[in-house]
Structure formats: C-alpha cells, structure tokens
A and B are shown apart, each in its own frame.
Chain A
Amino acid sequence: MKYNGIYPNKCGKFGDFGGIFAPEVLMPALCELDEAFEKYRNDESFKKEFYQILESYGGRPTPLFYAKRLSENVGCKVYLKREDLLHGGAHKLNNVIGQALLAKRMGKKKLVAETGAGQHGFATAIAGAYFGMETKVFMGKVDIARQAYNVYRMQLLGAEVIPVESGSKTLKDAINDGLRYWITNVRDTHYLMGSVVGPHPYPLLVREFQRIIGIETKKQIMELEGRLPNAIMACIGGGSNAIGIMYDFIENENVQLIGVEAAGEGLETGKHSIALGLGRRGVLHGSLMYLLQNEYGNILKSHSISAGLDYPGVGPEHCFLKELSRLRVETATDNETLESFQKLSVLEGIIPALESSHALACLEKIKGEFNKDDIVIINLSGSGSKDLNIIKQRLEFKVK
C-alpha cells in the first residue's frame, strides 16, 4: 500500500479524521504554526539542529535491545526499543525538542503545555530550560495529587505548574485550560501539544518529531537480524509513541502493527480508556476522532492505572489506520499490566513505565500467535521510575 507522505492532506485530514475544529481566535496561530512547520520540516539546518540536540543532549540513538530472558519466557524473539533511556525517561523528549526548536525559530518566547501524569509536562520543562523559554504547565488537581513527584521535578526545572480545577480535573481538562490560556496569550506563546492529538497541524508535527523512533528501529533491526520484524507493539494513549515507531513500517504490510489501549479495571466495568476499540466518532480538542462519550456527545471520564493512557480520545491517524485495517487494536487491563511490569523488572532488570507495560501485557496475551523465530518489537516508551508511588500501593515487599 502507498501511504507515506499522503496523509494528512492539506486540511489535516486522515480520511474523515483529524481536521481543525478550533475556536476562531486560535485559527491564525494554527495557520502560522502550519506554515512554519512546512517551512522548516525540510530545512537542512533545522533538521540537523534537531537531531544534534537529541543526540548530544537526549542520548539518541536509543538501543534496540534483544531481551533474551523475556524472549525465552514468551517463546519468540522480543526486542525492546529503549525510549526509556532517552533523557527525561520517555519518548516525550523527541516531541518537545522538535516543537520548542520550531517555536524558537518562529520567534515565540514562551511555552505552555498540558500534562496528565506529568511526563509531558516534565519533558516540556526540560525543553523550556534547554532553550531558555518561560514554561507553564497546566495539570489537573487530581493528577497533581497523584503525581507529586513529577510536579516537584517540573518545578525544579523552573516551570510553573498551574492547577486545573475545571471538569474532571485530569488530562482532558488540562488541555482545555492550556488551550484557553493559549487563546488569551497567542501572540508570544507556543502551545506544546503532548501527543498526536489536537487540531491540525499537531497530529502531523508530533508524528514527524516522533518518527525518529521508527527510523532508527528499522535500521537497527536490519543490522541485527537482516529482516523486518513480524510485529511492532506499542501502547496508545494519544498515540505518539505508537505512531513514532510504526510510521516507517506502515507500507511494509507483512509487519503487523499492534496498538494497545488501556482496559483499566475491565471492559465490563466501564472504567477504561478504550477509545479506538469502543469509542464513537466525535470532535474533541480540535480533531475528529474516536471518543468515549455519552449519547448526547458529552465526553466521558476515562480510567487507567497509567495516567499517560488516561484520555478519552485517540489521535486521528490511529483512527484512520484502524479503519484501513492496518492497525490492530488490543487492550490490557490494570492487573495484566502490573504483572508484566513486574515480569520485565525481574527478567531483564528494566523497570518499564506503566504505559509501556500495557504493550508487554498484550504480548503476554497473544504470544501464542508467534513462532520461536518470529521477531516482535515493543516500544518501551518510558521508564517506570515515575510510577513507583503507584506501584508501591499495590506491590509491597517485606525485608526479612
């Protein structure tokens, strides 16, 4: 299939999905961002500076690691793309460095971002410090209470954390308030969207900055194995780590692409974040996508043990890839995730982020589909050190 370079179209559409459903006040800023991105995406000096920062400051390329003991355990060859080793502890750095560099070239002085778990907020604070740009991070009151450690880390880096009291006081409301702030301060401020969601051009530019994951992975697996993998698996919150690793494999139709959504406490409880699997089409935060919503179009609260997957929508490109039957959508519950979290820690000495553990948990569920020589690559999107407070409530060890 021919795919790369075609989507989104000029209007930001991936088939029916995506678009620019934004208040009028933001339209000029979105058009300006679109123009700036089109100008710089093929600009050699921009690309060079972007990659150089990721290399010298971020630690790219990240390893593609053959997880030997895990492979023996599940019965196929498992490789982990180690985005957890990137500076900041997650794939988020790729996106924030790209956007902050773009904002700087556009002459913007300030950054504003939303955060759920604090992971994207922390990454934005890193970029703010690196580029010397004043940084504000909107974060739901509920999340601030759940993620005190990340709040502190952002503050240490000099970012201002602004509590969000509206709505459900979580990620979606932090995006609402961040966008409201942007509406009021649009002239000198860049809104640094944390995933492949939001109005055009965000799903496009976040994907382009995250593509580095897949470009490296392809090169690395060819060097290591001389062939492409049978499957690539990644967790899906908004979808940035998934599209990042998958995009350069979309045209390789023999490579299965498997996205894993958070099933929270279980499908039947209604407490989950399965927007692709169970959502209906709708418009939220500027984009047409699958959404968890009631019959009247009001957005429902999502649930997940991992704050990074706790979002009632999913990026428009994933919706489109699902519709094309190119993306296979699976789920993992909180409990399945915890088991896999612990398993990787014990088997490989790597503590994965709870988000990434969803992809590991899914492999556990579908491992029977793979032969011994099959290659499965999992995007280990982040490190679990940020999650230890949550894990500790569920998992206690005794000192004898």
Chain B
Amino acid sequence: MNDTNRILDLFNEKNSLEEKYFMPFLVCGDPSIEQFISMVKKIALYIDLLELGVPFSDPIADGPTIQEANMRAFEAGINTKVALDTIKKIRTFFTKPIVILTYYNILIQGSETIESSLDNTLRRFKESGIDGIVIADLPIEEAGLALKYCKKHDISLIFLIAPTTTDDRLEKILKEARGFIYLISILGVTGAREKVAQITKETIKRVKEKIKTRIPVFLGFGISKPEHASAVAELGADGIIIGSAIIDIIKRNLSNFNKMEQELIEFVSSIKNAIKRSN
C-alpha cells in the first residue's frame, strides 16, 4: 500500500506523546544482504521504527564505524537497486515504520535531470515501503525540491537539528519538518560515545520550547548504552536512535553470525527495556 505513512500513523494513534520510541540504525546490506534481512527479523519485536542507511561513497557526516559498515555493504553488492529490493523483502514481514538515511547524490541520479531523478528515486523508495527519509547533507536551504517530491510521494522528510543550529534556522526547519525531529546530541560525526554530553540537555530543552506542533523529537549520535537511553528519555526526548553501538556488535562478530544475532537481540532488548522503564 502506497497511500499510508506508518510514521504519521504511529504518532497519531495516541493522543499524547507519552510513550518513548526506539529506532535502531543499520546499514542496508551490512554485513551481507541475507544476514542483514535475518537480523531485522530477529530484532523486529523490540523496536518501534527502523532506520536503514543507504550507503554513499563519501559520507562526510559519518564516523569510522558507519564508514566501515558502508564498505561491507558495498562489498556485499549494495546500491540503490539492491537497497530497494532489500526493503521490499523486509516489508514482507516488518510492519513498523522504515526511515532511510542517505546522502543527496544517491537520490538525484538515474534520470535526465536532477529533478526527474529525485521524483523517480523517491517514488521507487516509497513503493518499496519506506515512510521517511533523512538526507544527511541536505540543509533546509537546499531542501526545496526534496520537500516537493517527498510531499508528492507521501514520505516524511526528516530534518536534523544540531546543538549549533541557531534559533532562526531552527524555526525555519520546524516549519517544514515532518515525521519527527532528528536531534543530533553532540558536536560531531556519528560514533558511539561513553557519556551523554551536557550539551544534549540544553539542546533538547531549547528545541522542545520552540516546537508548536505535536512533532516528536528523536535523539541520535553517540548514544551507546541502556543508561544513556533512559537518561535521554528522561530529559524529554520522545525517541532515541542508536547506530554505531549496534554496528560495533556486527563488527565484533563478523566471524560468528549466531553470536552476532544473539548479542544484537540482547542489546536491542536492553535498550527497549531501559526506555520502557522511563515511560
């Protein structure tokens, strides 16, 4: 079905945003296409949304962990076409919202012009079953075309907000943001961190105060432990996003897939429990 957006459905179901949500991030096709699909199956129960990276060769917003995951996915044969097929396969068993994270250049190739390519690529992603998209190198200033075609294909265009985002840009972004706000918790690239930065608290507070609509705020970048998850949930974030810490589990267990899946399930369920407690 193409005329639904599971993100909007999820947040519309309830009258308030009292629940806390968990969205893990995996790179599509890491460590292999089949193993990736199998992992999603195993963790599906413990997560609320799923974020999939569609790799780009030059991901400037990503740290070493995700860069290496991209390389593994490229070696496994990932590209836009394979990513679309993979998402379709996931959609045979997974009914929760799917958000993809990619870079702009991946979306603007394939047809005659940049605009027709964007139209086409977003349509194909929507047909494969995605609900939202994060474009790591597309600030609000350049987002005109993407907003137009995300609207056309009923995809939530999710914007990032950083601790350094100024108030007037914050307002511009909030005006256009759909689905949820992706709040970057640190000044830095993706990667697991030991502590939740002080900056996080201020940023959540500042953003929450500016929000006039009922859009949830998800916090990502650097969260790596159940304690972090519950801490940021208590600070007022509606959801958390964990990427590098999960991908570290994949990396540690590349030679033992059973162990990889086992550790993943344990980690993901511990996060879910941690934020449930703060619900």
Q: Which of A166, A286, A296 has the most C-beta atoms of chain B within 10 angstroms of its own C-beta? A: A296
Chain A residues with CB under 8 A of B109: 280, 282, 293, 295-297
Closest B residue, CB atoms, query A165: B64
Chain B residues with CB under 8 A of A291: 105
Contact of B61 among A28, A167, A183, A185 (CB under 8 A): A183
- Asked if residues B60 and A180 are in contact (CB atoms below 8 Å), the reply is yes
Closest A residue, CB atoms, query B169: A27
Considering only residues 119-146 of chain B, those with a C-beta below 8 Å from chain A are 136-139, 141-142
Segment with Cβ contacts to A, from B158-166, B225-233, B266-274 = B158-166
Q: How far is the CA of A347 from the CA of B210 in the complex (A)?
A: 69
* A29 with B58, Cβ < 8 A, contacts A21-B138, A184-B188, A280-B109 known: no
* A186 with B105, Cβ < 8 A, contacts A21-B138, A23-B137 known: no
- Asked if residues A22 and B139 are in contact (CB atoms below 8 Å), the reply is yes
Encode A278-289 as 1/0 by CB contact (under 8 A) with B.
001111111010
Q: Does B10 belong to the interface (CB within 8 Å)? A: no
- Asked if residues B58 and A167 are in contact (CB atoms below 8 Å), the reply is yes
Q: Does B67 belong to the interface (CB within 8 Å)? A: yes
Chain A residues with CB under 8 A of B137: 21-23, 283, 286
Considering only residues 8-29 of chain A, those with a C-beta below 8 Å from chain B are 11, 16, 19-25, 27-29
Considering only residues 11-64 of chain B, those with a C-beta below 8 Å from chain A are 55-64
Q: How far is the CA of A286 from the CA of B255 in the complex (A)?
A: 37
- Asked if residues B187 and A183 are in contact (CB atoms below 8 Å), the reply is yes
- Asked if residues B142 and A19 are in contact (CB atoms below 8 Å), the reply is yes
* A283 with B61, Cβ < 8 A, contacts A20-B142, A184-B189, A296-B109 known: no
Closest B residue, CB atoms, query A282: B105
Chain B residues with CB under 8 A of A285: 58, 60
Closest B residue, CB atoms, query A28: B164
Contact of B64 among A29, A166, A179 (CB under 8 A): A166
Encode A149-188 as 1/0 by CB contact (under 8 A) with B.
0000000000000000011000011001001100111110
Q: How far is the CA of A382 from the CA of B79 in the complex (A)?
A: 40
* A297 with B106, Cβ < 8 A, contacts A21-B137, A24-B162 known: yes
Closest A residue, CB atoms, query B59: A176
* A186 with B164, Cβ < 8 A, contacts A23-B61, A299-B58 known: yes
Q: Which of B55, B56, B59, B139 has the most C-beta atoms of chain A within 10 angstroms of its own C-beta? A: B139
Contact of A284 among B62, B74, B105, B184 (CB under 8 A): B105
- Asked if residues A283 and B105 are in contact (CB atoms below 8 Å), the reply is yes
Q: Does B175 belong to the interface (CB within 8 Å)? A: no
Chain B residues with CB under 8 A of A288: 114
Interchain nearest-CB distance for A377 vs B (Å):
35
Q: How far is the CA of A159 from the CA of B185 in the complex (A)?
A: 31
Q: Does A52 belong to the interface (CB within 8 Å)? A: no
Chain A residues with CB under 8 A of B74: 298
- Asked if residues B161 and A24 are in contact (CB atoms below 8 Å), the reply is yes
Q: Which of B62, B110, B164, B188 has the most C-beta atoms of chain A within 10 angstroms of its own C-beta? A: B164
Q: How far is the CA of A116 from the CA of B108 in the complex (A)?
A: 28
Considering only residues 347-396 of chain A, those with a C-beta below 8 Å from chain B are none
- Asked if residues B58 and A284 are in contact (CB atoms below 8 Å), the reply is yes
Considering only residues 178-199 of chain B, those with a C-beta below 8 Å from chain A are 184, 187-189
Q: How many A-B residue pairs have CB under 8 A?
A: 120
Considering only residues 229-259 of chain A, those with a C-beta below 8 Å from chain B are none
Chain B residues with CB under 8 A of A284: 58, 105
Interchain nearest-CB distance for A61 vs B (Å):
38
Q: Does B152 belong to the interface (CB within 8 Å)? A: no
Closest A residue, CB atoms, query B135: A21
Chain A residues with CB under 8 A of B104: 21, 283
- Asked if residues A282 and B108 are in contact (CB atoms below 8 Å), the reply is yes
Interchain nearest-CB distance for B191 vs A (Å):
10
Contact of B60 among A27, A179, A282, A293 (CB under 8 A): A179
Q: How far is the CA of A153 from the CA of B55 in the complex (A)?
A: 37
Closest A residue, CB atoms, query B121: A297
Interchain nearest-CB distance for B142 vs A (Å):
6
- Asked if residues A298 and B60 are in contact (CB atoms below 8 Å), the reply is no
Q: How far is the CA of A183 from the CA of B74 in the complex (A)?
A: 25
Interchain nearest-CB distance for B109 vs A (Å):
4
- Asked if residues A27 and B61 are in contact (CB atoms below 8 Å), the reply is no
Q: Does B81 belong to the interface (CB within 8 Å)? A: yes
- Asked if residues B139 and A24 are in contact (CB atoms below 8 Å), the reply is yes
Chain B residues with CB under 8 A of A282: 105, 108-109
Q: How far is the CA of A282 from the CA of B114 in the complex (A)?
A: 8
Chain A residues with CB under 8 A of B107: 297
Closest A residue, CB atoms, query B80: A296
- Asked if residues A281 and B79 are in contact (CB atoms below 8 Å), the reply is no
- Asked if residues A166 and B56 are in contact (CB atoms below 8 Å), the reply is no
- Asked if residues B60 and A167 are in contact (CB atoms below 8 Å), the reply is no
Chain B residues with CB under 8 A of A24: 139, 159-162, 165, 184
Q: How far is the CA of A332 from the CA of B227 in the complex (A)?
A: 59
* A28 with B165, Cβ < 8 A, contacts A11-B141, A21-B137, A183-B188 known: yes
Chain B residues with CB under 8 A of A296: 79-81, 106, 109-110
Encode B65-83 as 1/0 by CB contact (under 8 A) with A.
0010000001000011100
Interchain nearest-CB distance for B102 vs A (Å):
9
Q: How far is the CA of A29 from the CA of B81 in the complex (A)?
A: 36
Q: How far is the CA of A283 from the CA of B60 in the complex (A)?
A: 12
Chain B residues with CB under 8 A of A295: 109-110
What would be 26 A-B contacts, judged by CB atoms less than 8 Å apart?
A: A11-B141, A19-B141, A20-B141, A21-B138, A24-B161, A24-B165, A25-B184, A25-B187, A25-B188, A27-B141, A167-B58, A167-B67, A173-B58, A176-B59, A179-B60, A180-B63, A180-B189, A184-B189, A186-B187, A187-B187, A282-B109, A291-B105, A297-B56, A297-B106, A298-B55, A299-B58
With contacts A24-B139, A167-B57 known, what are 9 further pairs, Cβ within 8 A? A21-B104, A23-B137, A24-B162, A29-B164, A31-B166, A180-B189, A284-B105, A296-B110, A297-B56
A residues within 8 Å of B by Cβ? 11, 16, 19-25, 27-29, 31, 166-167, 172-173, 176, 179-180, 183-187, 280-286, 288, 291, 293, 295-299
Question: Which 9 A-B pairs give the minimum distances between C-beta atoms?
Answer: A298-B57, A297-B109, A184-B188, A23-B61, A24-B160, A296-B79, A25-B162, A297-B105, A28-B164
